Amino acid sequence: MKDDAMAFSGHAEFKDQPVADLTKRLGIEQAYEGSLTGEARLYTEGQEWRDLIPHLDGGINVLIEKGVIMKSNVFLKILQFLSLQDIFTKRPPDLSKEGLYFESLGGHGNIEKGIVRTENALMRSPVLNAVATGVRTWAKAWPILTSGFSRSGPSIRS
């Protein structure tokens, strides 16, 4: 590291914090509701502030429990509508009535040069269970995901 460069290193842990509080503080559009537990170890350096994200390294573990994906797509809305188990599963009263309810959503991400990679993201919900691997760069609006889905609960067979 050069003498005039900035460097930051940190470790953060949080337990059962509202997702909305974190996204609001970071200036991120709220896409989820729920209770957030996580741990992050981060390191970055650079000559200027704009250099910090492209040099970010570390890892993060995230778990959101009893939550809602605020902007679910049409496919997920149809599955939720058809789900028998969803009829008998009650959302916690403090969650939004809109969006896809899930019991847990989380995984581990490795961060290298500002790029987050995950191989074990997992969502469990009354509607479906899903696993995903993906890559997200801070410059892109959406992650690149490879997903697998499994319907939850009883299935209807003819």
The predicted-structure confidence for 21-70, as pLDDT tens digits, reads as follows: 887 887 777 778 899 999 999 999 999 888 888 899 999 999 999 988 87
Is 156 domain-assigned?
A: no
Is 71 domain-assigned?
A: yes
Is 81 domain-assigned?
A: yes
Q: For residue 156, is pLDDT > 50?
A: no
Q: How many domains does the chain have?
A: 1
Q: Containing domain of residue 110, as a range?
A: 6-151
Is 1 domain-assigned?
A: no
Judged by average pLDDT, the poorest of 14-18, 36-40, 74-78, 120-124 is 74-78
The predicted-structure confidence for 31-41, as pLDDT tens digits, reads as follows: 788 999 999 99
Is 60 domain-assigned?
A: yes
Distance from C-alpha of 124 to C-alpha of 130, rounded to nearest angstrom: 7
Q: Within 13 Å of residue 75, how many CA atoms lie on the same side as its CB?
A: 3
Whole-model pTM: value is: 0.70
3-state secondary structure (DSSP) of residue 21? helix
Report the pLDDT value the prediction gives residue 36, as an integer from 0 to 100. 92
Mean pLDDT (whole number) for 133-156: 56
Is 114 domain-assigned?
A: yes
Report the pLDDT value the prediction gives residue 73, as an integer from 0 to 100. 58
Is 65 domain-assigned?
A: yes
